[in-house]
A and B are shown apart, each in its own frame.
Chain A
């Protein structure tokens, strides 16, 4: 069975500081990887995805994530956060041989302080 682990339930950080949100997965087959973000009182929205090709993927608002196959990780990073980045971030995986099923991690709440 596959699983997704987000060890940090909450990450407090000051504005303009760098941040890393950790995600590790376990799977016996190759996977696709995703980060979703949930802003307060809103549904989830896709932030970025790794399907193939370059292991470093970027979002339009400055986040990036790197797929590390040997460490089975897909950590999310941003070099300088803004107050508006305060949200809950979910890592998710899907097996390449699966038809539809996203497996979500438990989420990490990023709290950006002024």
Chain B
């Protein structure tokens, strides 16, 4: 079974702190994604990576950065956390090509910024 794990289920940080969210997948997927999930808005793509050290901005990249140094690991970084970044963050991975659309999701990290 594909497994996508996220480093924390719940995280509480203070405004202005630097926050790292980690995601690891064990299926040798080329693609990895970071989404933000908010009530009534569904999932919105923050960043996408299709290879090590490669990344593309999604729909809402402002205030976020990412790092992919190894194929299995994709990190989301909040350089200076703000209260409007309080949300559920979901990581996903997939193969490339036609299988890009079949994404496997982690359980999510609920981040609260106070």
Contact = CB atoms under 8 A, between A and B. Distances in A.
A100 B96 CA distance: 8
Summarize A's interface: helix, strand, loop or mixed: loop
B101 A102 contact: yes
B95 to A, nearest CB: 11
A37 B4 CA distance: 16
A106 interface: yes
Interface of B: 4, 31, 40-45, 48, 50, 58, 90, 92, 98, 100-108
23 contacts: A9-B40, A32-B101, A34-B101, A42-B107, A43-B90, A43-B105, A43-B107, A43-B108, A44-B43, A44-B105, A49-B101, A51-B98, A90-B43, A99-B100, A100-B48, A100-B100, A101-B45, A101-B48, A102-B103, A105-B42, A106-B40, A106-B41, A106-B42
Interface of A: 4, 6, 9, 32, 34, 41-46, 49, 51, 90, 94, 99-102, 104-107
